[in-house]
Structure 1
Amino acid sequence: MQRQMHLVAYLKTGPTALHAGGWRHPEATLADIFEPARYEHVARVLEDACFDGCFFADLFGLYDIHKGGFDTYVERGGQISFLDPLTVLPVMARATSRLGLGATLSTTLFHPYHLARSLLSLDVFSRGRVAWNIVTSATDLEARNFGLEMLPDKDARYDQADEVVEACLKLWRSWDADAFVLDKTTGVFADPSKVHYSDHAGRFVKTRGPLSIPQSAQKHPVLMQAGSSERGRRFAARWAEVIFAAQKGKAEMQAFYQDIKGRLDAHGRRPEDCAILVQTSCIVGETDAIAAEKAAYLNDLADEELRLATTSSSVGVDMSRYEDGQSLSDLAGSQGMQGSVDLLEQVRRDGALSISQAARKALPNQLVGSPATIADQLEELFLAQACDGFVLAPATFPTSHESFARAVVPELQRRGLFRKAYQGKTLREHLREGNAAC
């Protein structure tokens, strides 16, 4: 069987995803942000196209790094999570039967018992289709919303994340798969010998357990992660079943791919145990020329001030006050995401720009063209072992996902690069499909 790519959709419970001007496009819907039908619809679109899954990016607050406040984000329609994804995902689960469903939750801000309980409940409810996008949080504003003055340093956050994941896995094993007896005649509901305390006691977290929730159809949620720093890569090599990568350019993607795959063996894991999915946005037109016009129109809607605010939020530095020559790492301290810093540096190099200029021009990775051209570009990266698939961020919602599902997916299927039907029922089963030629 030919190796096949994985596709996961990037979502937000707000007006826009990664594109600063997406909500302004005439085809973007806004009035339905608070309506269950919005999320049911996109879930059905993705499942009809046989996507592995989707996940909601999230922030536990309002970005207020840019100019010391949240005015730009609120006024210009930045990446705002208006709804808690944990309240939206059950709606999407009810509307589908195969699509994977992911939530972003922080190991720095949430206790492992709360994480394990919430995520496994949803995993049981969805019959084994949940993913946990593990973050350690990247802004002090989030810390303050949870009673902390500031975030711990990045290495300490990952040390804590290791412990939190360990504790969650113990809690998720509280019930053996065959614990239920359900014998009305004898009056035995379940076998207590098959329910266990976890008794996790570490440097950062303690939890006794057991959970009151049984194993799900896939035993426990899929672990997803997006760290690009050295410490983040070590964490990913140990735990991640899916990595959300943000490199720009085939050579950079290949280098990241080979680095992560090479680290897995030290943890007793195989290369196929971790799917590396590169983030991109696809702007599809009937022809390459039409697609280019669409992209130019859309990108002109991206307000420069909001682009700057978005960069400020992702790198952890107020770029409105940044002077070229300063160290972003020094200014960010414990804030910001290394992947975003790396991406900004790539934009600077590719355009022969200063950091300040690059911050004002930054847009998410884009592939532009006809369905065949988009498929060509995805195929090239996939076959060159730059990735195992893609995280597709919508430029406009819901039309980006609709056009990709309608026009590009059939082309990938025709080439044998993507499934025509689900073989399994759980997200973990989807991720194991087509991992190697045979």
Structure 2
Amino acid sequence: MKKMHLVGLNHSGPLVGGWRHPEAHADYLDPACWDRVARTLENGRFDAIFFADAQTFYNEQMTRKGGDVYLLDPVPLAMSVARATEKLGIGITISTSLFEPFGIARALGTLDVLSGGRIAWNVVTSVSDQEAHRYGMPGLLPKNERYDRADEVIEACMQLWDSFPPDALVADKKRGLFIDPDKLVHLTYEGKHVKTEGPLTVPPSPQGRPVIMQAGSSERGRQFAARWAEILFTYQHSLANMQAFYKDMHGRMAAFGRPANACAILPSFQPIVGETRSIAKEKQAYLYSLVDDDVALARTSMSIGFDLTKLKPGMSLGDLSAEGGSSGAMDILKIAAAGENLSIVEAARRYACNALCPEIVGTAEDIADWMGGIFRADGCDGFVVMSTTSPSAMETFTRSVVPILQERGLFRTEYEGNTLRSHLNES
């Protein structure tokens, strides 16, 4: 029976609202805190832990009140986590708009070697000009050009990773031969946006090279993922959307000559587990109560491209169109409201908590039922599991939901291999 893949999403700072929860840790700068989260996921036999990232604080309100704040660089954080685990994959976010291919290939190649072949590169193109300014750039390229540059960066990295074949590192003491230079590939890559030369100075890992991970749902993003991604992280809010996305991506991959099993398509969801459904609902309500209104409005405004902070308190969604809100903004907030008659602040609070991914609230059996239903209905190859409070939410999920999935034959009970790519290739 086909088994689902699971990736746990984290970021190196407070979760919106969740950081105020009594069960949430506050030791963001202590490596032991991230080791604990990673070991929890490894004990649950997850494919990988994934660190999202941003290079700037979004705005003063979100910085002051703890909304999407990233405190640590994921590259050294990944090495710390790798030393605390043995088989768990580790996804690292690095932007192709801010970094050059040789530096990316060398850093990720080194991490992949030192972790024993457990690294995934979450490829992003960045969305904020503020990030570009941090690196001395006037701003980001237009969106489609950012993807064109990303194509070139990955092409160049692939060539660099292939430029140091496994048998080139000889280390023969008797012959006095350390590296066989005849086996190294001397290359010159020159595209419109990036240039580099090889060979790379880092030998390959047990999995050859890092796994490519990507989150893209736009037309250009889907084409990019169809060409490169081995893990595709996506936001889809219903079974119908997931099935349509799944089918569409398989068609696009086929056009690049890639089989369907070349990429694990993983929609995100946020579980809230309770001993009973009513307890789970109480947990959800409490989590929403912890989200500051200013953070909710700022976080949602940033995503929908409409400034909700200028609206009168207590306004309903129905009043938004009269204030000039776009149809796209309306659609996003209506999905967040899930058919309920909410105020704009209430809908924004929900959006800030889960960014439109399905929020499944119930018992462990309810959540396992939902996951199994989506998986069996060709809606996905597994899931990116989002956390409400760290580390308690993942601990609850792995202790209560994972065993049910395992009992039903939907998820591994043991790792079959040692590398991330081997986890993804398990049948």
TM-score by length of 1: 0.90
1:109 Cα shift?
0.8
Tell me the CA shift for residue 149 of structure 1.
Answer: 2.5
Deviates more, 1:160-169 or 1:340-349: 340-349
5+ unaligned residues in a row in structure 2: which ranges? 312-319
Aligned match of 1:157: 146
Q: Does 1:121 align with 2:110?
A: yes
Structure 2 counterpart of 1:277, from 258, 266, 275: 266
> What is the match of residue 67 of structure 1?
none
**2:38 aligns to what?**
43
Query: 2:23 aligns to what?
Result: 27
Aligned to 2:9: 10
Aligned to 2:215: 226
3-state SS, counterpart of residue 261 of structure 1: helix
Write out aligned runs for 1:237-256 (5 A): 237-256=226-245
Q: After superposition, where does 1:142-153 map in structure 2 within 5 Å?
A: 142-153=131-142
Deviation string, structure 1 residues 150-176 (Cα, Å, up to 9, x no partner): 221111110111001000101111211
The one-letter amino acid paired with 1:26 is P
TM alignment of 1:34-433, pairs within 5 A:
34-63=29-58, 70-315=59-304, 317-321=306-310, 324=321, 325-327=324-326, 343-344=332-333, 346-347=335-336, 350-351=339-340, 358-362=347-351, 363-364=353-354, 365-433=358-426
**Partners of 2:309 and 2:202 in 1: how far apart?**
48
Cα root mean square deviation, aligned: 2.0
Query: 1:103 Cα shift?
Result: 0.7
The C-alpha deviation readout for 1:137-159, integer Å capped at 9, x for no partner, is 01111121122232211111101
CA contact (8 A) 2:300 2:348 kept: yes
Please give the alpha-carbon distance, in whole angstroms, between the structure 2 residues aligned to 1:100 and 1:80: 23
CA distance in 2, matches of 1:306, 1:358: 13
Tell me how far apart the structure 1 counterparts of residues 327 and 142 of structure 2 sit (CA, whole Å): 15
1:316 and 1:14 map into 2 onto residues whose CA distance is 24
Identity %: 49
Name the count of aligned residue pairs: 413
Query: Structure 1 residues 155-164 or 363-372, which shifts more?
Result: 363-372
Deviations, residues 406-431 of structure 1 (Å, cap 9, x unaligned)? 11100100000000000011101101
What is the rounded CA distance, in whole Å, between the counterparts of 1:229 and 1:112 in structure 2? Answer: 24
Alpha carbons 2:34, 2:81 under 8 Å: kept = yes
Q: Which amino acid aligns with 1:252?
A: N
Report the residue type matching 1:5 in the other structure.
M
What secondary structure is seen at the aligned counterpart in 2 of 1:397?
coil
1:355–1:114: structure 2 CA closer, same or farther, 3 Å change rule? farther
Q: Counterpart of 1:178 in 2: which secondary structure?
A: helix
Contact 1:345-1:355 at 8 Å conserved across structures: no
SS at match of 2:294: helix
User: Structure 1: where are the runs of 5+ without partners?
Assistant: 64-69, 330-339
SS of the residue 2:90 aligns to: strand
Deviation at residue 343 of structure 1 after TM alignment: 4.9
Q: Hey, what's the Cα distance between the residues in 1 that align with 2:334 and 2:139?
A: 26
* Most deviating of 46-55 and 287-296: 287-296
CA distance in 2, matches of 1:233, 1:241: 13
Q: What code does the residue aligned with 2:23 have?
A: E
Question: Residue 136 and residue 328 in structure 1: after superposition, are their counterparts in 2 closer, same or farther (change >3 A)?
Answer: farther
CA distance in 1, matches of 2:149, 2:334: 29
**Cα distance per residue 1:177-197 (max 9 Å; x no partner):** 111222111111121111112
Q: Which amino acid aligns with 1:164?
A: V
Question: 1:313: Cα distance to partner?
Answer: 3.1
Given the two structures, how large is their TM-score scaled by the length of structure 2?
0.92
Distance 1:99 1:249 in 2: 29
- The Cα offsets for residues 18-55 of structure 1, whole Å up to 9 and x where unpaired, read as xx21011111111x111010011111111111000011
1:321 Cα offset (Å): 4.5
Relative contact order: is structure 1 or structure 2 higher (C-alpha 8 Å, sep ≥ 6)? 1
Q: Deviations over 1:247-289 (max 9, x none)?
A: 1111111111111111111111001111111111111111222
Stretch of structure 1 that moved more, 209-218 or 308-317: 308-317
Q: 1:85 to 1:167 in 2, by over 3 A?
A: same
Q: 1:53, 1:101 within 8 Å by CA — same for their partners in 2?
A: yes
Structure 1 CA distance, aligned partners of 2:338 and 2:120? 35
> Is the partner of 2:37 in helix, strand or coil?
helix
Q: How much does 1:358 deviate?
A: 4.3
The equivalent of 1:332 in structure 2 is none
Distance 1:327 1:140, change over 3 A: farther
